[in-house]
Amino acid sequence: MYIERLVLRHFRNYKETTLAFAPGGAYISGANGSGKTNILESIYYLANHASFRTTRREELQTWNVSQSAVYALVTQRETGRQSELAIHLTPNGRRLFLNGKETRDLRRFTSEIAAVAFHPGTMNVIKGGPAGRRYLVDRGIFSLQPEFGQTSQHFQRALKQRNALLRRNKASSHASSLATWTEHFIETSVQLMLDRQAHVERLNRALETLVEALGNDVGLVSLQYQPAIFAKCNSSDEVLAAWEDEKRLRERCLMESERLQQAEEAMGQTLFGPQRDDFTIRFRGRESRGYASQGEQRLAAFLLVAALAIEIRQQRGHHPVILLDDVISELDARNRQVIFDFLKAHAFQVLITDVEARPQVHNLSSLTSLHVKQVGGWADVQGGVDLDSTPHDL
């Protein structure tokens, strides 16, 4: 799939802007703070219902407006079928529209569009903290199975309620409520962990195929899931057995709950569960955090994103949009070439942001060239495909 037209209305520093893209994508230049990243963020939000920059929805809206919106005209490359998608953002939430009609069917909506992003935060995912790695994995799961969003919401609600009860005094009146929410927390934790483990296994298969296609000199990248509930487990056989039997996984969670009960009551927070999980990213068989160079770490992070893109294409039947935000200039020539070789080998639409307008330098002259600057506090975009060449109005 590819995006033919994008309309931003009161989205960050865009008052009302219509953009048209070629099927191959666009090279978007502009000074830092001009608003070029906001274009990529709007596409990512439309596809994933989350920003790769903030968890605060109000930050996406222009200050002091009642409603913001992102619209896209999407064409399925394989069939030529077109669809119109929109998200309206208000202080009270968001509303989804598919082909002009409001919908609550998240799976149907997300089946029409997909996007993956490689940005400065992704480049730092290896040397950064566990939260960044959990986010990368969980957003990848959502890209493949939108119902994971509901699983995650149920888990977060159970965690919040359990923490609130732990922060209260130890009065017996709270004991039954805590037991109920502990049970619910364990159930949602098990589902979340199973989804994460399945995703890691899928991604590792895709990584192996991807690296083989790019050439052995690239180096194999792999991902290893490290659930916090197994931190005190010395038996690998016990860990393997737990993955094969949900009952054992629940029992392990319950054991951790009992082991940490006094510490949780003293600290007023949940000390076991998926919110404390981590992932190890290996490069050429060694833990990349300690042994890989900065360039190798960045390449490994990109390959994780590329493998997700391939997995989306295989499972969902269409190509996601690849969003590369201010990363080209941060990569050495060899790693840039690996990325460009990947893009040339697959029919992905790619949108790249850069401070300088230099698509020719990277042999990307086939991409639409756009330049973003600020005029009176609003983003102004110059260049792009002739809007008259796109057949539908949004």
- d(CA 318, CA 18) in angstroms, rounded, equals 24
Structure tokens at 50: 């989350």
Its pTM stands at: 0.91
- 181 belongs to a structural domain: no
pLDDT at 175: 80
Residue 75 lies in a domain: yes
| Residue at 124 is within a domain | no
What mean pLDDT is predicted for residues 68-90?
Answer: 94
For residues 136 and 122, is the Cβ–Cβ distance under 8 A? yes
One-letter amino acid identity for 25? Answer: G
Residue 358 within a domain? yes
Mean pLDDT, rounded, for 24-28: 93
Residue 326 DSSP label: S
Q: Which amino acid is at 372?
A: V
Q: Using one digit for the tens of pLDDT, what is the confidence trace for 155-172?
A: 999 999 999 999 886 555
Section 6-15 average pLDDT: 96
Q: Lowest-pLDDT range, 37-46, 109-118, 179-188, 377-386?
A: 377-386
Domain containing residue 69? 1-114+318-394
Residue 219: what residue type?
G
Domain for residue 78, yes or no?
Answer: yes
Residue 343 vs residues 303, 321, 326, 338: alpha-carbon distances, Å: 12, 11, 17, 9
State yes or no: 101 annotated in a binding site.
no
Look at residue 391 in the predicted model and tell me its pLDDT: 40
DSSP string, 3-47: EEEEEEEEETTEEEEEEE-BTTEEEEEE-TTSSHHHHHHHHHHHH
Q: Does the annotation flag 32 for ligand binding?
A: yes
Helix axis angle, 130-144 to 175-214, nearest 10°: 80
Domain-located, residue 352: yes
Q: What percentage of the chain carries pLDDT values higher than 70?
A: 94
d(CA 266, CA 241): 32
Q: Which residue has the higher pLDDT, 383 or 181?
A: 181
**80 annotated as a binding-site residue:** no
Please answer whether residues 221 and 211 qualify as being in contact, where contact means their C-beta atoms are separated by less than 8 angstroms.
Answer: yes
Contacts of 32 (CB under 8 A, 6+ apart): 355
Report whether pLDDT(366) > 80.
no
Say if residue 152 carries a ligand binding annotation: no
Amino acid at the residue 202: R
Looking up residue 108, the CATH number of its domain turns out to be 3.40.50.300
For residue range 316-353, what is the model confidence (pLDDT) as tens digits? 888 999 999 999 888 888 898 899 889 888 889 999 99
To which residue do tokens 């079928």 refer? 81
Binding residue per annotation — 100? no
102 in any annotated domain = yes
34 annotated as belonging to a binding site for a ligand: yes
179 is in an annotated binding site: no
Residue 93 known to bind ligand: no
- Domain count of the chain? 1
- What band does 87 get if pLDDT is binned at 50, 70 and 90? very high
Element (H, E) at 222: strand 221-226
Residue 306 lies in a domain: no
